[in-house]
Amino acid sequence: MLKSPLQIARSSYQPKLPVALKGNVVLKEGEATQSVADHEEIKALFPNTYGMPILSMVKGEKKPMEPMNVGVILSGGQAPGGHNVISGLYDGLKNLNPQNKLYGFLGGPSGLIEHKYVELTGDIINEYRNTGGFDIIGSGRTKLEEPWQFDKGIEICHELGIRAIVIIGGDDSNTNACVLAEYYLQKGCGIQVIGCPKTIDGDLKNSQIETSFGFDTACKTYSELIGNIQRDANSAKKYWHFIRLMGRSASHIALECALQSQPNICLISEEVEAKNMTLNDIVDGIIKVIVARADAGLNFGTILIPEGLIEFIPAMRRLIAELNDLLATNEGFNALETEDEKRQFVKACLSPESSALFRDLPKGIARQLMLDRDPHGNVQVSQIETEKLLIEMVAKRLAVMKASGTYKGKFSALGHFFGYEGRCAIPSNFDADYCYSIGITATWLIAGGKSGYMALVQNLTAPASEWQAGGVPITMMMNMEKRAGKMKPVIQKALVDLEGAPFKYLAAHRDEWADANTSYIYPGPIQYYGPSEVCDQPTHTLKLEKGAFED
Amino acid sequence: MLKSPLQIARSSYQPKLPVALKGNVVLKEGEATQSVADHEEIKALFPNTYGMPILSMVKGEKKPMEPMNVGVILSGGQAPGGHNVISGLYDGLKNLNPQNKLYGFLGGPSGLIEHKYVELTGDIINEYRNTGGFDIIGSGRTKLEEPWQFDKGIEICHELGIRAIVIIGGDDSNTNACVLAEYYLQKGCGIQVIGCPKTIDGDLKNSQIETSFGFDTACKTYSELIGNIQRDANSAKKYWHFIRLMGRSASHIALECALQSQPNICLISEEVEAKNMTLNDIVDGIIKVIVARADAGLNFGTILIPEGLIEFIPAMRRLIAELNDLLATNEGFNALETEDEKRQFVKACLSPESSALFRDLPKGIARQLMLDRDPHGNVQVSQIETEKLLIEMVAKRLAVMKASGTYKGKFSALGHFFGYEGRCAIPSNFDADYCYSIGITATWLIAGGKSGYMALVQNLTAPASEWQAGGVPITMMMNMEKRAGKMKPVIQKALVDLEGAPFKYLAAHRDEWADANTSYIYPGPIQYYGPSEVCDQPTHTLKLEKGAFED
């Protein structure tokens, strides 16, 4: 067997397209833009790509176009819909002129530098329409930052007659896309660069970009699983499920999944940081809910935990920073033989606050912080199984409370981590439509001679036919931030806004979700067929942000 | 918000029903039956329920029926479709006579003993149609085995005017249902007992029962996730994913998921046992595939691991048995203070073979076997994270091979465990239809005055309209087996048949799946709407067993 029935059926799905992108398009210039902050610095760094106008797309007449070739790159982690950006790009190019060619650089940005590519023909494209994954050309994490890399890009583009490069990536990749665009404009080499907003993490969004693609499908896949686990919890009535969700920097995924499934607890890293909470504060909050539910005879529940939580706890961040400073190159430490000696050494060297925190951590976690280090000697925070850390701390505390008679329930817990299950799911109709439109939009930006722009599709809570397309200067999203000790221009990451509607909805309902016999919602698996209210809905986050959420 | 759009849409799904179950039904008796083995012993134990004929259902005329009340029990682990058995039962009863009542015993068999119940009214039933979970009345693992329990059952049935009890459960629960049926017949108390075949594990099947309900939905949910992970593996090209799947005794789930997704490796416990393989043999097999793929430049892949694997490795089973004998009540061992002393003690006391195996195990696993013990002092085999055990052993071996130059690849591995994600999924159309038919069938068995039967729906690879309904005497599936040192009559568990078509298909294709650049299939999430070939298919296992599989 070669394909599943759904794979076969999805290959003939025709993504829904905004009216504005059907037929021919002309670009309409809006007002000039400026960066979100640090105007002068950004302007100085991007003399050719700063201050460009926002572009919108309206219907226009067909104009004859010279043939052109375009290159495309997938950058960073997988997100559902990447293949549809590429198929939209392909269809858009062929629609402009059947002689146009699309090249895919292989294995991410390194394909451009190392001149590894494939021509994406119709046969190849058709194999990948509406599919998940980035396997059509592969992806990679090489960063395009150095002029020699940019120059290697010029070589291959000139060799293949490539007029524009489309980079599909997250905030960092799009920052680099803009640096590349600026460099090519300064050099006058005639190569345009266009970015496309990708990331399941949902942290690439701003006044213009309503959402990054892949966030919708990934969150719906995780929510399916959370809902199934909640139904199990409510049937078996004997387990607390601690569910860690991918997404290291922002908690958008956990928040969206909570909105879709209404768990008993959802931790939000940004809130933990804003309230300067400690690990003990977090455990306190969990204990409070567990005890209240146990008093009501409910010895089960669900807790969503964002992957990045640990790094948002200010005291933990200080401890990790001290450990990194202390241990990276400490020969005294490395010379010690037993784990116990090492532990004593560490405790003695840390600041009093960090030493106390270190002492209170479960042994396994302390061992991991102390011993599991990356090649630079740094703590491998992403390896920490936060769900197990919390289970252990909660269980310990409950055992003490049980002994003293302040807790009378039973506590059995199971840990889960969901990440790889959703990054390559078959894109939802929303992501399939959105990504295809992004690809078509990118084509028109290229045809219009634009560079340093991100393809823009807006009005996403309306039916796809009413979506608006255009382009936003990447410099408009930038500010200056410290990276590895140096100030750099970067696209501002969107963390969860504690004043925003999605978080406020959670905050307004979480007490009710914590206590209720069950407020659980069971979203079920993504549907591609059937009633539109079942299979074409955007995320709750997006609806709440746009005021389009109906309770 | 109270429900997801899919929950709302599914509530109005009308399960497809076999022609034979539309309208009125009469029971047709087939030939007398006998047990699969141990005829005399089973016959002696079940004088009233042994040798009864197989029943089939054909269209008949409407006969007036006296009102009757029925009780239903959910027993054991959750399986998608349980709510539909109950709604089928409800609709069937109300169709016979609107005055009929259905009572649900709460929290599993203990509800019968403790007289905890609820009347299942139309309002309640309508809330649960086509939903996952067992939360309508809850489930539990109390075993109905003792006469005093049976007598408590009589009390409440007489109080509520209950004429029949329907027990929805796995092999053990159905065995107990038959014991109960026999007891009630011997007592002449006028209470019938009917069983229904439930378990996601797929090990309750035989010449009559084609599949247990829930297996279809659970396997499709796990296969969705496996497919998504495979697409990720093939996009990122840098991880080996070791995926453990629920199902302790039989490997049907792993096998079905392999047929649906075509991973690089799928371990089958029954084969490991039949070939008397050791843990090292298994690691050898995995290493062979990893090295071959690395030589072809493919440093990624997927491995499916049945949860029960450890207990099917004969040498491991001997080690565990020795540890249980050795440590359960060993005061000398318990008095030892350090882990190292305990380890030395254990090594010295084990047989030479087990001692060598114990020494070779990764430390964390050896520690778990030695220290994590249940209240009876037994090793907690189900707590062992087999995927991590295998990752550790494989990594260690590859490191040695790399040092000696016989392996040149890169090995990074990630572990997953899927179980709770699928047990309460929204039932597939297949399970929704199958379970509803089982419920209706059970009603007709009750109306026909039968007891000790299991509701039977067959011909499941045909469209639902062509399914056949009937009843099979539970004694027909029984043989005598040793349980806790005593010979007991039990329903024979169906392990994976190494001569059966599903395993043979795997065996014939696995080398190709192991080596190929990618043979991965991406099943995607369960679809409830859309083309019939996408949303109404039974499992590959069932199709292969019935000769209805098209490659």
Find residues 6-45 of chain B whose CB sits inside 8 Å of chain A.
6-7, 9-10
Active-site hit among B91, B172, B201, B433: B201
Q: Which pLDDT does position A325 carry in this prediction?
A: 85
Q: Which pLDDT does position B459 carry in this prediction?
A: 97
Contact of B528 with chain A, judged by CB distance below 8 Å, is answered with yes
The three state secondary structure string of A449-508 is: CCCCEEEEEECCCCCHHHCEEEEEEHHHHEEEEEECCEEEEEECCCCCCCCCHHHHHHHH
In the predicted structure, residue B446 carries a pLDDT above the cut 70:
yes
Measure the CA–CA gap between A185 and A183, rounded to whole angstroms: 5
Measure the CA–CA gap between A432 and A529, rounded to whole angstroms: 13
Which among B6, B77, B260 has CB closest to A527? B6
In the predicted structure, residue B343 carries a pLDDT above the cut 90:
no
Tokens 């109960």, residue?
Answer: B180
Enclosing H/E stretch for A180: helix A171-187
Measure the CA–CA gap between B449 and B447, rounded to whole angstroms: 5
Assigned token pair, B78: 């959750």
Measure the CA–CA gap between A229 and B419, rounded to whole angstroms: 9
Which residues does chain B have within 8 Å of residue A518's beta carbon, measured at their own beta carbons?
135
Assigned token pair, B207: 């010449």
Q: Which pLDDT does position B1 carry in this prediction?
A: 61
Assigned token pair, B487: 């010979």
Over its C-alpha atoms, chain B yields an Rg (Å, rounded) of 25
Measure the CA–CA gap between B164 and B158, rounded to whole angstroms: 11
Q: Which pLDDT does position A374 carry in this prediction?
A: 75
Tens-digit pLDDT profile for residues B235-284? 999 999 999 999 888 999 999 999 999 999 999 999 999 999 999 999 99
Within 10 angstroms of residue B436's Cβ, the number of other Cβ atoms is 31
Which residues does chain A have within 8 Å of residue B391's beta carbon, measured at their own beta carbons?
none
Is this complex scored with an ipTM above 0.85?
Answer: yes
Tens-digit pLDDT profile for residues B86-132? 999 999 999 999 999 999 999 999 999 999 999 999 999 999 999 99
Is A110 exposed, middle or buried (CB count within 10 Å of its CB: 0-12, 13-18, 19+)? buried
Give the residue from chain A lying closest to B75, CA to CA.
A236
Is A309 exposed, middle or buried (CB count within 10 Å of its CB: 0-12, 13-18, 19+)? buried
Shortest Cα distance from A154 to chain B (angstroms)? 26
Is B9's CB within 8 Å of A533's CB?
yes
Residues of chain B with pLDDT > 70, as a percent, come to: 100
When mean pLDDT is compared across A106-110, B133-137, B155-159, B545-549, the lowest value belongs to: B545-549
Residues B160 and B124: beta-carbon distance below 8 Å: no
Tokens 């239903």, residue?
Answer: B72
Its sign, for the CA torsion B314, B317, B321, B323, is positive
Tokens 């707590």, residue?
Answer: B383
Give the residue from chain B lying closest to A512, CA to CA.
B1
Within 10 angstroms of residue A190's Cβ, the number of other Cβ atoms is 15
Residues B164 and B194: beta-carbon distance below 8 Å: yes
In the predicted structure, residue B374 carries a pLDDT above the cut 90:
no
Q: Are strands A101-105 and A117-119 parallel, antiparallel or unpaired?
A: antiparallel
Residues of chain B with pLDDT > 90, as a percent, come to: 86
DSSP H helices, B363-462, are: 363-371, 386-404, 429-447
Beta-ladder partners of B245: B306, B418
Alpha-carbon separation of residue A499 from A252, A268, A504, B235, B293 (angstroms): 14, 13, 7, 37, 51
Measure the CA–CA gap between A321 and A301, rounded to whole angstroms: 34
CB pairs below 8 Å between A and B: how many? Answer: 191
Q: Which pLDDT does position B441 carry in this prediction?
A: 98
Is A232's CB within 8 Å of B139's CB?
no
Is A6's CB within 8 Å of B232's CB?
no
Enclosing H/E stretch for B520: none
Alpha-carbon separation of residue A434 from A5, A529, A538, B155, B504 (angstroms): 24, 17, 10, 62, 43
Find residues 139-158 of chain A whose CB sits inside 8 Å of chain B.
139
Within 10 angstroms of residue B81's Cβ, the number of other Cβ atoms is 37
Which among B3, B420, B527 has CB closest to A414? B420
Measure the CA–CA gap between B38 and B45, rounded to whole angstroms: 11
Its sign, for the CA torsion B498, B501, B503, B508, is positive
| Residue B369 phi, psi (nearest 5) | -60, -35
Shortest Cα distance from B225 to chain A (angstroms)? 5
Residues A382 and A308: beta-carbon distance below 8 Å: no
Contact of A135 with chain B, judged by CB distance below 8 Å, is answered with yes
In the predicted structure, residue B390 carries a pLDDT above the cut 70:
yes
Measure the CA–CA gap between B313 and B390, rounded to whole angstroms: 13
Measure the CA–CA gap between B131 and A524, rounded to whole angstroms: 10
Contact of A65 with chain B, judged by CB distance below 8 Å, is answered with no
Tokens 């948002």, residue?
Answer: A312
Which residues does chain A have within 8 Å of residue B525's beta carbon, measured at their own beta carbons?
6, 221, 224, 425-426, 525-527
Tokens 């040092």, residue?
Answer: B403
Contact of A227 with chain B, judged by CB distance below 8 Å, is answered with yes
- Among candidates B267, B205, B271, B238, which has minimal Cα distance to B539? B205
Within 10 angstroms of residue A400's Cβ, the number of other Cβ atoms is 10
User: Residues in chain A with pLDDT < 50?
Assistant: none
Q: pTM, whole model, 2 decimals?
A: 0.97
| Residue A66 phi, psi (nearest 5) | -60, 145
Residues 6 or more apart in contact with residue A339 via CB below 8 angstroms: A367, A370, A371
| Residue B428 phi, psi (nearest 5) | -60, 165
| A285, amino acid identity | G
| Residue B264 phi, psi (nearest 5) | -70, -35
Contact of B522 with chain A, judged by CB distance below 8 Å, is answered with yes
Shortest Cα distance from A78 to chain B (angstroms)? 7
Measure the CA–CA gap between A454 and A446, rounded to whole angstroms: 11
**B201 is a catalytic site residue:** yes
Assigned token pair, B366: 């050896």
Which among A420, A526, A531 has CB closest to B525? A526
How many residues in total does chain B contain? Answer: 551
- Among candidates A196, A99, A102, A117, which has minimal Cα distance to A155? A117
Give the residue from chain A lying closest to B551, CA to CA.
A1
- Average pLDDT (B171-187) is 97
Beta-ladder partners of B168: B74, B196
Q: Which pLDDT does position A249 carry in this prediction?
A: 86
Report how far apart the first and last C-alpha atoms of chain A are (Å, whole number). 44
Active-site hit among A172, A201, A203, A216: A201
Q: Which pLDDT does position B465 carry in this prediction?
A: 96
DSSP B146-200: SHHHHHHHHHHHHHHTEEEEEEEE-HHHHHHHHHHHHHHHHHT---EEEEEEB-T
Q: Which pLDDT does position A61 carry in this prediction?
A: 86
Alpha-carbon separation of residue A100 from A59, A74, A278, A436, B264 (angstroms): 22, 20, 57, 18, 38
Shortest Cα distance from B26 to chain A (angstroms)? 36
Measure the CA–CA gap between A229 and A216, rounded to whole angstroms: 20
Tens-digit pLDDT profile for residues B194-203? 999 999 999 9
Q: Are strands A486-491 and A478-483 parallel, antiparallel or unpaired?
A: antiparallel
Q: Which pLDDT does position A1 carry in this prediction?
A: 62
Assigned token pair, B32: 């007398």
- Under the banding of pLDDT at 50, 70 and 90, the label for residue B508 is very high
Shortest Cα distance from A534 to chain B (angstroms)? 5
Contact of B521 with chain A, judged by CB distance below 8 Å, is answered with yes
Q: Which pLDDT does position B474 carry in this prediction?
A: 98
Report how far apart the first and last C-alpha atoms of chain B are (Å, whole number). 44
- Among candidates A65, A124, A71, A136, which has minimal Cα distance to A98? A65
